[in-house]
Structure 1
Amino acid sequence: MKVREELLRSCYGYVNERILRLEASVRDLEHDLGNETKSSAGDKYETSREMINAEISQLERQLKEFKKLKGILSLPQLQKASTAIQLGSIVITNTANYFVAIPVGEVNINKEKFYAIGINSPMAQLLNGKQKGDVFTFREKEVKILDVY
């Protein structure tokens, strides 16, 4: 399988696993909320319900973000190579390998390490628009772009 397909598969796996986990947590909290019984200590009951609702809201925000990341993975530009670095580019440098897509972190493909990074990350911002052979500085280190595909 091609490196791009493997990287995309790994990114989808990461996002899908997070989505499933968040959905399960929301369901569990909604179940807890439904089972919360009114006690004689009314304030305690209301506080508990508000805490559960706040937790559900936080999880739903996270779920929305991961669904947005999943949508980014389906964009057409992630499927094709380009000579100038952009969303979807695989970049080989003298310091590390990058996949400009979504922020997943380290991904190992065929015993090679890649860093899946979001387009808004500091490294992606430096890479954006550059091409094979370009040199730039990141964290006081000179980085040379060896290949882009």
Structure 2
Amino acid sequence: MLKQELLDKCEDFIQQKTTALHNAMQGLKQDLENESKSSAGDKFETGREMINIEWNKLSNQLQQYEQMKSVIKRINVQTDSNIVKAGSIIFTENANYFISIPAGELIVEDTKFYAIGSKAPVATAMLGKTENDSYTFNQQEVLIKKII
């Protein structure tokens, strides 16, 4: 089923990103331990602060991916809709979209889809539309051919 395959690819995207973040955080933890063993004074404090800033940045990114996970869990692959909403697959004359999370380009069954969040500008232009409706994006009129 196409929707399930796209959902699986989005889950894989999140898993890859969270694994990379966890690895980076583990590296920072080791850097912090090495920093506390090696130096003293201002250089030590600056090094620790830089590590803490990076740690906080990675923690925030991790939190965003956790939020994406909860969005994915709310998508029901069993239901199709004739109205564009979260979880819809939209075929247009220009591109194909999966309204889910911002995971970028996904290829399923030799077809290219763009996984986008429901707050993405192109998604907000499409939300609530039905098949054969048009929406305007980047000053261009785009026809919705099919919605799953």
Matched residues in 2 for 1:20 and 1:91: separation?
30
Cα offset, 1:58, TM superposition: 0.6
Structure 2 residue identity aligned to 1:31: Q
Cα offset, 1:31, TM superposition: 1.4
Matched residues in 2 for 1:39 and 1:112: separation?
55
Equivalent residue, structure 1, for 2:96 = 97
Structure 2 residue identity aligned to 1:58: K
Equivalent residue, structure 2, for 1:84 = 83
Instruction: Indicate whether 1:138 and 2:148 are aligned.
Output: no
Aligned residue pair count:
147
Matched residues in 2 for 1:48 and 1:65: separation?
26
Equivalent residue, structure 2, for 1:67 = 66
Checking the alignment, whether the CA contact within 8 Å between 1:78 and 1:89 is kept in structure 2 is no
Cα offset, 1:139, TM superposition: 1.5
Cα offset, 1:51, TM superposition: 0.6
Q: Structure 1: any 5+ residue segments left out of the alignment?
A: none
Matched residues in 2 for 1:79 and 1:48: separation?
51
- Give the TM-score normalised by structure 1: 0.93
Equivalent residue, structure 2, for 1:53 = 52
Q: Any idea what the Cα deviations from partners look like across 1:33-90, whole Å, max 9, x if unmatched?
A: 11212535x0001110111111111101001101111111000445521111100000
Equivalent residue, structure 2, for 1:39 = 39
Aligned Cα root-mean-square deviation (Å): 1.3
Q: Any idea what the Cα deviations from partners look like across 1:94-130, whole Å, max 9, x if unmatched?
A: 1111000000111111011111010000010011000
Percent of residue pairs bearing the same amino acid type: 38
Structure 1 residue identity aligned to 2:12: G
